[in-house]
Amino acid sequence: MLLAIDVGNTHTVCGVWDGNSWCAIWRRSTNISTTEDELIVWLKGMFDLSNIPWEINGAICGSVVPQVDGLWDKLCQRWLGVKLKFLKHGAAVGLQVDYDPPHAVGADRIANALGALERFQPPIIVVDFGTATTFDSIDRDGHYAGGAILPGVQLSSRALFDKAAKLPQVEFVAPERALGRNTVESLQSGIMLGYAGAIDALACRINEEMGGNSVVIATGGLGGLFIGICSSIQRYEPTLTLEGLVIANERLGD
């Protein structure tokens, strides 16, 4: 079985791939002070709780937090007895990156492009809802064409709550109407409907710049919140980044 590790700024997502489907997917906080011993206790516990055999014969990692790369590398060598592969650049996995410079594109965005190209015909726009909300664009030739980076909905909302003492924190739920009749509804309107409007505006502009007819896909932990309120999003693929890592593992070889 393959262990796929998607290390983000806020969360790390681990998936166990048996060659045909995901046996399990788990999420934990990304913590640069964690040791490999602490990580393996958590990982082994998740295997046991999910009744998955402790049989890992490969591991692939896409990380945007370099400080923890060594921890996962040591874990795989010491406790799993496998070499951890790292997805670093598009060129290594057969993806042309038209970005300046090409190596500035994060591993998660490369994985998103690989996963999207496996499922859909380009042009494609992937909207990844995480700490930041990123737009990854794949043109008609299957090249990574660029994108956009927006502060994530949780991050931007937290800044608002921290700076406005009288505003309560609210649940990330879209209100029934844009016209809020109380403070909670007003906040939910601004946060959810306003953010959805920003997503739609950017997706529309990027689509036009790529010649139109783009498939727009959402992924990331918060992506499901915006299905139904973002008119531009056609599909929600929560495992897209992990699927891209599986493809990267195959292309990187031994």
CATH code of residue 128: 3.30.420.40
Are 20 and 141 found together in one domain? no
pLDDT tens, per residue, the chain with 254 residues: 999 999 999 999 999 999 999 999 999 999 999 999 999 999 999 999 999 999 999 999 999 999 999 999 999 999 999 999 999 999 999 999 999 999 999 999 999 999 999 999 999 999 999 889 999 999 999 999 999 999 988 888 887 777 676 677 788 888 889 998 898 898 889 889 999 999 999 999 999 999 999 999 999 988 888 998 999 999 999 999 999 999 999 999 87
Residue 67 covered by a domain: yes
CA distance 254 to 250: 9
| pTM of this structure | 0.92
Are 173 and 233 found together in one domain? yes
Report how far apart the first and last C-alpha atoms of the chain are (Å, whole number).
15
CA distance 144 to 125: 10
Catalytic residues: 108
CA distance 41 to 232: 42
CA distance 81 to 91: 27
Residue 33 covered by a domain: yes
**For the CA atoms of 65, 87, 6, 78, what is the dihedral angle to 10 degrees?**
-80
Contact 165, 232 (CB under 8 A): no
Q: Which domain holds residue 10?
A: 2-86
The count of structural domains within the chain is: 2
Are 110 and 223 found together in one domain? yes
